[in-house]
Structure 1
Amino acid sequence: MAEARRAAVLGSPIAHSLSPVLHRAAYRELGLGHWSYDRFEVDEAALPAFVDGLDASWAGLSLTMPLKRAVIPLLDEVTVTAASVEAVNTVVFTADGRRVGDNTDIPGMIAAMRERGVEKVESAAVLGAGATASSALAALSLVCTGPVTAYVRSAIRAQEMRGWGERLGVDVRTADWAEAARAFDAPLVIATTPAGTTDALAAAVPDALAAAVPDAPGTLFDVLYDPWPTPVATAWAAHGGAVVGGLDLLVHQAVLQVEQMTGRAPAPLSAMREAGERALGAR
């Protein structure tokens, strides 16, 4: 009988996470009956003790907020990708006991966009300025050949996004959130804001949300997946624009996590996506 192997997702809050559904679907498809994947409510204060308490049966961890930066001092190695945005969402425990941190959000974003036919764009817009926005800039450094306009709520956030742009080699320009409806004219729009935030655009547009979406929109990448579709995504699709959703991102980054943790590739993308769709449909 194969020796048991463990993995899990950590974060706070964590009850909403779809990661167990996706990873378990992959294990079933790959015939890894001796693998398990759980979720644990862990905040920044509890993280060091949790990681130190793991035994040799553990293969890896997925990390969500607020742990993506807090985990870095606990690691033996951080990949160039993760270091570029100072955010780790994947930890792999090697055979010799080392802790290696990576960021699969960035290549996951690129893969999700490519799946919808987005290979290169001349310009882009980013809504928001949090951790996901910095990952979006890292992805855009490989996708966008021209300027990226970030729509933010404060001067501090604007400065942070310009700083990330300099670090990542992206020509980042900033604009006030009140002008965010202008973002919809870009060939690629990445919305990184929490649920309900982007919907506030409707209040700034006289004819409501649909009026802010152009007649021939480009591609919208809305990183939310629950609830889905968002009002912006619905209006975008109604105008004939391509839409990439948060589940697309979640599945693609999870595929990379499964491959790193199990050493098996390719991970079953279709089975994982179908499991995620079923789980969301049941909520």
Structure 2
Amino acid sequence: MTRGRTRAAVLGSPIAHSLSPVLHRAAYAELGLTGHTYERFEVDEAGLPAFLDGLGPGWAGLSLTMPLKRAVIPLLDRVSPTAAAVEAVNTVVFTEDGQRHGDNTDIPGLVAALRERDVAEVPSAAVLGAGATASSALAALARVCPGTVTAYVRSAARAEEMRGWGDRLGVRVRTAPWERAAEALREPLVIATTPAGATDALAARVPERPGTLFDVLYEPWPTPLARAWQAAGGRLLGGLDLLVHQAVLQVEQMTGRAPAPLAAMREAGEAALGG
């Protein structure tokens, strides 16, 4: 990072719930970056161009959440292949010459979280849901699952969309109706990308010897499915695992300091959620 670029923030709408300030500030404290700041701003799609144009030279980068991950792309000078693959940017870094570079740290963050739990490769997998996070899940699975990924979705349109993402990302995707979602729980890896409450009914269907569940929610946590999965002895990852690992990569890009302090950031996130 260029000297003097010490400001960063997370943008989105709604944004008050974001844990990003907690994680990034914990990293700055651990790294001794006392002059760095990280804020949050309520910004919607309509307000994004003016917000970006109003930033001064002291800005290092931005984290983006919904609904800005796609809206920001036309406003950038360069987009990484990772972000372009899923048409979603969650990280913007400002260069010394004023350019805006976009990246997606959700995908490598998801892979890193799985590898931290010794999930480096699985023969097949399932994805619950077909929203924006599901495409990132497929991109991550392209790196850890050489076999078929089954996506459980609620409509024919969503099924077609997921198969399209699979074609683009090089993942063999088959689709199944949501009514059969309990079948997903038999896969060695299940990634749940659905909103709170959507998987609650599946908690009673967890098999006797479950594999790995990655539920991307972090509040409320644990979900009923996550609680049942853990009780049955399955390996469990939650939304905080994804949030911390993608934030580690953001901190490294925005500060130029690596490695970012994963343990300190996770501890801060756990404390914030516990509070």
TM above 0.5, yes or no, is: yes
The Cα of 1:273 is off from its aligned counterpart by 0.2
Contact 1:4 1:34 in 2 (8 A): no
Contact 1:128 1:150 in 2 (8 A): yes
CA distance in 2 between partners of 1:141 and 1:228 (Å): 27
Residue among 262, 265, 268 paired with 1:272: 265
CA distance in 2 between partners of 1:84 and 1:75 (Å): 15
CA distance in 1 between partners of 2:198 and 2:90 (Å): 24
CA distance in 2 between partners of 1:214 and 1:123 (Å): 17
CA distance in 1 between partners of 2:6 and 2:250 (Å): 15
Where do 1:83-98 residues align within 5 Å? Answer: 83-98=84-99
**SS state of the match for residue 81, structure 1?**
helix
CA distance in 2 between partners of 1:175 and 1:255 (Å): 34
Where do 1:96-115 residues align within 5 Å? Answer: 96-115=97-116
Where do 1:49-68 residues align within 5 Å? Answer: 49-68=50-69
CA distance in 1 between partners of 2:96 and 2:235 (Å): 43
Q: TM-score, normalised by structure 1?
A: 0.95
- CA deviations 1:190-215 (Å, max 9, x no partner) are 0001111111x34xxxxxx23x1000
What is the RMSD of the two structures over their aligned residues, measured on CA atoms? 0.9
**SS state of the match for residue 92, structure 2?**
strand
Where do 1:9-20 residues align within 5 Å? Answer: 9-20=10-21
Which blocks of at least 5 consecutive residues in structure 2 are unaligned?
none
Supply the AA of the counterpart residue of 2:72. V
The Cα of 1:3 is off from its aligned counterpart by 4.2
Where do 1:190-269 residues align within 5 Å? Answer: 190-199=191-200, 201-202=201-202, 209-210=203-204, 212-269=205-262
CA distance in 2 between partners of 1:144 and 1:15 (Å): 35
Contact 2:5 2:60 in 1 (8 A): no
Supply the AA of the counterpart residue of 1:230. T
- CA deviations 1:200-258 (Å, max 9, x no partner) are x34xxxxxx23x10000000000000111111010000000000110000000000000
Supply the AA of the counterpart residue of 1:136. A
Q: TM-score, normalised by structure 2?
A: 0.98
**SS state of the match for residue 228, structure 2?**
helix
Contact 1:126 1:150 in 2 (8 A): yes
2:23 aligns to what?
22
CA distance in 1 between partners of 2:117 and 2:220 (Å): 21
The Cα of 1:88 is off from its aligned counterpart by 0.2
The Cα of 1:4 is off from its aligned counterpart by 6.4
Which blocks of at least 5 consecutive residues in structure 1 are unaligned?
203-208
The Cα of 1:278 is off from its aligned counterpart by 0.3
CA distance in 2 between partners of 1:44 and 1:273 (Å): 30
Where do 1:50-199 residues align within 5 Å? Answer: 50-199=51-200
Q: What fraction of aligned residue pairs are identical, expressed as a percent?
A: 77
**SS state of the match for residue 225, structure 1?**
coil
CA distance in 2 between partners of 1:29 and 1:162 (Å): 43
The Cα of 1:169 is off from its aligned counterpart by 0.5
